[in-house]
Amino acid sequence: MNLNLDVALIGDVDLFHVIAIFRCRPWKPSDLERVILASPYTTTPPQNLPIMTLDPPTIGTTTTVHAKLSYIDCTKEFNSPGHMFLARGSLYIARRSTIMSSANKPPTQSMPSIGLGTFKLKGEAVQQVLRDAIRIGYRHIDTATIYRNEKDIGDVLQETYSDPSNTLTRSDFWITSKLSPYDMRKPRESLMQTLRSLQTEYLDLYLIHWPAVARKAASSPEHKRLRLEAWKVLNEAKREGLLRNIGVSNFTPQHIQELIDETEYGIQGVFVQMETHPWYWRDAFEIQNRFQEHEVRIVGYALLAEGRLVGENCPKFLDEVSKRRGLSVVQVVLAWALSKNWGVLVRSEREEHLRDNLEATRLVDVLTPEDIALIESISTSEKEEKLCWDPRFVK
């Protein structure tokens, strides 16, 4: 990564105060999230990390940073390009995707746009699919505590890391898991169990699976209290480095708005995983637009409506686009979702389907605006068909 920085520190630079002026280019302003100020002189482990959040500066302008450092360390993290040692301090500017919350964590990676779905797959079935998928090139795995397959997946990942025929390590994979609605009263404990089952020190993404606690009426005020508490736990675990990214799943725009209005954490850069397919996609679009300034990222699930979009129920327009472009119906659906900048999850137990689905990442530009309009006319705002669990009733 070539950060190509223009950095200058001015004023007093000592272990406890740094006054810096920096100019950055050539990134987009939104690429810059935080500035970490540190000094090479201390070796004590981090306690209060000297991390500051800034408004991204506009290219070419100069931003002044005033920071009070309560702890300073740079022994490991500053091996990466983009840091600068100065007389008695150092200024490290991290791109959004490489931000670390403490000195000893490796850089995060960005999410591969297609993820392997593992719902309904357990034991030997999930293990065989995962081995095939990894061999074919999948690097993004979606699981959840309620799928009861985290340990099976963890075992295959361990087997993969120790296989001398490849060079894959933990950092080559993006692993998502989710807090079970049954565990909403013990989110931290549940997360720690997930980490143990998946045999990993961190998750790339952890989501609140569902905005409600299991076995309570949808109208109960418990749901809101527990999901706001869980949001706090996820944010704290992210700060600790156990989670690289956090998010929610099956939240309505209103549930998401509460995270902004009623927590100190907000939703900057979070992921929202939700049902999305040509029969039901406008809610994803609304969330993407409404929370655009928070850079919320959508990940669609059940893109094939659990298989119902393929075969005899396939809508006429989809079939038409598929024939016109010489792509399979599934590739058309995936390419359509990817064209909206959504991540997609898809599950298959068949190797040829796994290959076809992964291929969709290269087909996004094949669809024309007319194709996209045709796909989107399969449903109307008055007549959408949601197939999976519906959170709109959850208080």
Ligand X SMILES: NC(=O)c1ccc[n+]([C@@H]2O[C@H](COP(=O)([O-])OP(=O)(O)OC[C@H]3O[C@@H](n4cnc5c(N)ncnc54)[C@H](OP(=O)(O)O)[C@@H]3O)[C@@H](O)[C@H]2O)c1
The residues that touch ligand X, with contacts defined as CB under 6 A, are 117-119, 142, 209, 249-250, 273, 301-307, 310, 330, 345-350, 353, 356-357, 388
Question: CA–CA separation, 2 vs 12, rounded Å?
Answer: 28
Please say which residue, 86 or 310, places its beta carbon nearer to ligand X. 310
CB atoms within 10 A of CB 304: 23
Q: What is the smallest separation between the CB atom of 302 and ligand X, expressed in angstroms?
A: 4
Q: What is the smallest separation between the CB atom of 178 and ligand X, expressed in angstroms?
A: 6
Please say which residue, 108 or 250, places its beta carbon nearer to ligand X. 250
Q: What is the dihedral of CA 266, 267, 269, 271, to 10 degrees?
A: 160
92 catalytically annotated: no
Strands 83-85 and 63-68: unpaired
Q: What is the smallest separation between the CB atom of 388 and ligand X, expressed in angstroms?
A: 5
Residues in Cβ contact with 177 at an 8 Å cutoff, skipping those fewer than 6 apart: 143, 144, 145, 150, 194, 198, 203, 205, 206, 207
Please say which residue, 3 or 303, places its beta carbon nearer to ligand X. 303
In three-state secondary structure terms, 385 is coil
374: region left, alpha or beta (phi > 0 left; psi from -120 to 50 alpha): alpha
Judge if the upstream peptide bond of residue 26 is cis by omega within 30 degrees of 0.
yes
Please say which residue, 275 or 371, places its beta carbon nearer to ligand X. 275
Query: Which entry of 92, 138, 147, 280 is annotated as an active-site residue?
Result: 147
123: region left, alpha or beta (phi > 0 left; psi from -120 to 50 alpha): left
User: Which of 87, 17, 23, 88 is CA-nearest to residue 56?
Assistant: 23
User: Which of 141, 176, 171 is CA-nearest to residue 156?
Assistant: 141
CB atoms within 10 A of CB 109: 16
Please say which residue, 256 or 330, places its beta carbon nearer to ligand X. 330
| 149 and 126 Cβ atoms separated by less than 8 Å | yes
Catalytic residue set: 147
